Amino acid sequence: MTRRRFLGTAATLGAGAVAVPAVASPTVHPPGWSGTARVEKIATTCEMCFWRCGVLASVEGGKVVRVEGNPDHPQNQGRLCARGNAGTGLLHDPDRLKTPLLRVGERGEGRFKPVSWDEALDFLAGRLVKLRDEHGPESVAFFPHGNGARFFATLMRAYGTPNSAEPSFAQCRGPREVGYSLTFGQGLGSPEPVDLEEARLVVLIGSHLGENVFTSQITAFATGLARGAKLIAVDPRFSLAASKADWWLPIRPGTDIALLLAWMNVLIAEDLCDKEYLKTYASGFDRLANHVREFTPEWAEAITEIPAAKIRETARAMGKAKPAVAVHPGRHVTWYGDDTQRARAMAILTALLGSWGRKGGIFLPTPIPRGSFDLPDFPEPKRGRADGAGKRFPLAIEELGVTNGLIDATLSGDPYPIKAWIVYGQNMLESIPQPARTVEAIGKLDLMVVVDVLPVEQIKYADLVLPEATYLERYDPPTIVESAKRPFIAVRSPACEPLYESKPGWWIAKELAKRLKLEAFFPWDTPEQHLEKILKPTGFGARELLNRGAVAFPGKPYLEDRAPVDRTFDTASGKIELYSEALAKIGADPLPRYTPPVEPPKGFFRLIYGRAPVHSFARSQNNEALDALMSENEVWLATSVARDWGVTEGQRIVLENVEGVKSSPVRVKVTEGIRSDCAYLVHGFGQQSRALRRAFGRGASDNSLMSRVSVDPLTGGTGMRVNFVRAARA
Ligand code: SF4
């Protein structure tokens, strides 16, 4: 796609997307949230990914027949991506879990009998009471994902376990949140507040905007480029974004910190930093300047394989465009195990350019007040967390937890035995690397429960499976997005009754709470009452939010919008910390330092991975409409590598990693658009659940080839780009 055509698609958001014409606001939501036959359009929130776009669901005779973008929604203003448009494909997926299932065969055989909800919840409550009595409530670990899991999270706290962890931390953005918090006193949150539309220069380091499609982000990116923003794309692969770039820097994988240090070296040596900004807001500049003096572009060239002249040229472009330089912090950042330090380096670069809190850089969140319930005190766990957050991984954020830390604890029994897992809305065998370890850990459990919409692979290891309603059939707690220029509250509300025997998460949690005598933690009878309480301080009522789908508030996204007294930073010094006292205190590098990545053994190539615009993680491959757009992935190989391997375009091969794990067959794409030391796969394919009749066995699973990780000692994040593959015999 040419840059001109890409810019022309600003309104269409990537393959398969459509621009939605403005429509009138949705009609009134029905009382009691049933009897939807009287309603034409229900305003709700998309959950085909986590970006929280507003949708209007058209309902005819109680059936959702179509979704379209909500034109009044601040997040997407009527636009949906291809996945958002395919939402009814999830609702009507014939492979959906339809009824609670109780295991009848051996664990792993995948043999179940259908049971009623009463039977399922009585079984689960009974087992949870027994586990609490015999092993303590901490022996139960919770692995949530998504908004629907939040009620269940309350239940787990009330039950008494501190052990909850989601892959959005240790397999995704955890090191980023920590690295930016160490520097600016606050993380970035989600969606990440990058001011792409106002930027004069965008810097992408391994971020695949355009292949990774989120409505407002891709619109802002295309708008910025259309207004003349320059683009630097650092990527071993000629990604879609790289194809639009003014500078494509095909970096040697794992050497990004060296490039970042060299950029800092040039900015400081050539006096290109925002000096006034640094003087006002930052501390530690002299120590940083001393630190980076030796990291010249020539030093970095030998490491990164990017010519020194290009490093200087790009640093100068940043100096010229400052402060309107959007250094995108990335989202999935768990690559090499030094990821918190790489995030720190990106944060420091942002600070040197004066871009934090400035137009065209990173904008600031605006707090929104929210109400809360007067709940009983949550029990204080007798034993601390088992995942290592706060101890083995001193900077891990406890509210998000370390999934792999809980898997380690389950395998070792250290610091104490973990006896049960409740996995909610995620496929651990595709979202967490080293899947063989995950299966081994499941083998140690007394109880494995899965709550999901689809029969993903891990359900074959479950003792109990609970079918959750899809996002078009359920209420979820309101989503409060402060990291937007116009912050907003949005709600997910049911457009139709749950199909089959599926149930919404709030109902499952409340019913289980009754059986565990914990109903005091759910002091509301209907979702609307819950919503009313949360909204109280905002001045909006539940009915208004349900009718509109979202309400926006005025934002103060830039430092200049704020009174001088509010321009401080939540660090120990109240300043932007270029030199981190917090890291020095725990014996870590207070300034980022380059550490060489593990190199592939002879004959192997580094496995890198990314996204496709029409799929979300491993969640959408069974969707009929999205399958029609992309039904399998392909492995990208450099022309020279394909020649050496003796394979040709379109041929199916099997990939094998260093440990001998083999993928399912995958088609070859031969290209000049990838370095000759890498192989690339789109994530989420090669699924092994036969119950997913469309997705089963299509393409290769990158996660199945991730037998190794390099763990970030600060956060526990699992660096995954340390796996190597070669072609093998099928
Ligand atoms: S980006 Fe697409 S899939 Fe994600 S919430 Fe928005 S419309 Fe839905």
Pocket test for ligand 1, best of 76, 90, 470 (most atoms within 8 A of CB): 76
Task: List the structure tokens of 621.
Answer: 């491959």
CB 13 within 8 A of CB 213: yes
pLDDT digits (tens, 9 = 90+) for 509-523: 999 999 999 999 999
> What's the pTM?
0.94
Alpha helices of 16-86 — where are they, by DSSP H?
82-85
pLDDT digits (tens, 9 = 90+) for 248-286: 999 999 999 999 999 999 999 999 999 999 999 999 999
**Ligand 1: lining residues by beta carbon, under 6 Å:** 46, 48-49, 51-53, 76, 80-81, 83-84, 214-215
CB burial of 265-303 (b: ≥16 within 10 Å; e: otherwise) equals: bbbbeeebbbeebbeebbbbbeebeebbeebbbebbbeb
Closest among 188, 161, 154 to 172, alpha carbons compared: 188
Q: 86 alpha carbon to ligand 1 midpoint, in Å? A: 10
Going by alpha carbons, the residue nearest to atom 6 of ligand 1 is 53
Angle between helices 297-304 and 256-269 (to 10 degrees): 170
Task: List the structure tokens of 533.
Answer: 């309480």
Residue 31 buriedness (CB in 10 A; 0-12 / 13-18 / 19+):
exposed
358 sits in the region (left: phi over 0; alpha: psi -120 to 50; else beta) called: beta
Radius of gyration of the chain (CA): 25
**E strand intervals along 154-263:** 201-205, 230-234, 247-249
| pLDDT category of residue 146 using cuts at 50, 70 and 90 | confident
Average pLDDT of the chain is 94
Q: Cα 516 to the chain's mean position, in Å? A: 32
pLDDT digits (tens, 9 = 90+) for 345-367: 999 999 999 999 999 999 999 99
Closest among 633, 584, 625 to 609, alpha carbons compared: 633
What is the predicted pLDDT for the residue at 359? 98
Closest atom of ligand 1 to CA, residue 55: 7
What average pLDDT score do residues 635-648 get? Answer: 96
**SS3 track for 505-552:** HHHHHHHHHHHCCCHHHCCCCCHHHHHHHHHHHHCCCHHHHHHHCEEE
| pLDDT category of residue 700 using cuts at 50, 70 and 90 | very high
The residues facing 114 across adjacent strands are: 101
* Cis status, amide bond into 498, omega within 30 of 0: no
What average pLDDT score do residues 659-672 get? Answer: 97
pLDDT digits (tens, 9 = 90+) for 525-546: 999 999 999 999 999 999 999 9
Closest atom of ligand 1 to CA, residue 51: 5
3-state secondary structure of 393: strand
How many other C-beta atoms lie within 10 A of the C-beta of residue 570? 9
**E strand intervals along 585-676:** 605-610, 634-638, 652-657, 666-671
Q: 431 alpha carbon to ligand 1 midpoint, in Å? A: 19
- Least confident residue range of 1-15, 117-131, 171-185, 612-626: 1-15
d(CA 180, CA 394): 16
pLDDT digits (tens, 9 = 90+) for 309-318: 999 999 999 9
Going by alpha carbons, the residue nearest to atom 4 of ligand 1 is 49
Q: 200 alpha carbon to ligand 1 midpoint, in Å? A: 26
pLDDT digits (tens, 9 = 90+) for 176-202: 999 999 999 999 999 999 999 999 999
The DSSP annotation for 458-504 comes to: GGGG-SEEEEBPPGGG--EEEEEE-SSSS-EEEEE--SSPPSTT-B-
Geometric angle at alpha carbon 6, from 3 and 9, rounded to 5°: 155
Going by alpha carbons, the residue nearest to atom 8 of ligand 1 is 84
How many other C-beta atoms lie within 10 A of the C-beta of residue 498? 18
d(CA 385, CA 173): 21
Kind and range of the H or E run holding 654: strand 652-657
Task: List the structure tokens of 410.
Answer: 């389950």
d(CA 144, CA 509): 13
pLDDT at 20 over 60: no
d(CA 638, CA 675): 6
Pocket test for ligand 1, best of 13, 44, 45, 83 (most atoms within 8 A of CB): 83
What is the predicted pLDDT for the residue at 2? 46
The residues facing 48 across adjacent strands are: none
At position 297, the amino acid (one-letter code) is P
Going by alpha carbons, the residue nearest to atom 1 of ligand 1 is 214
pLDDT digits (tens, 9 = 90+) for 439-457: 999 999 999 999 999 999 9
Task: List the structure tokens of 400.
Answer: 């998000």
CB 50 within 8 A of CB 331: no
What does DSSP assign to residue 146? S
Task: List the structure tokens of 502.
Answer: 């599926």
Phi then psi dihedrals of residue 669, to 5 deg? -115, 115
Closest among 571, 503, 432 to 148, alpha carbons compared: 503
CB 161 within 8 A of CB 142: yes
pLDDT at 148 over 90: no
Pairing status of strand 201-205 against strand 63-69: unpaired
Alpha helices of 51-199 — where are they, by DSSP H?
82-85, 87-91, 117-135, 150-159, 167-168, 174-184
Closest among 184, 83, 55 to 491, alpha carbons compared: 55
Closest atom of ligand 1 to CA, residue 83: 3
Pocket test for ligand 1, best of 18, 44, 46, 629 (most atoms within 8 A of CB): 46
d(CA 473, CA 458): 24
Q: 83 alpha carbon to ligand 1 midpoint, in Å? A: 6
pLDDT digits (tens, 9 = 90+) for 82-103: 999 999 999 999 999 999 999 9
Geometric angle at alpha carbon 345, from 344 and 349, rounded to 5°: 115
The residues facing 682 across adjacent strands are: 610
Phi then psi dihedrals of residue 510, to 5 deg? -65, -40
Closest atom of ligand 1 to CA, residue 45: 5
Residue 630 buriedness (CB in 10 A; 0-12 / 13-18 / 19+):
buried
The residues facing 467 across adjacent strands are: 452
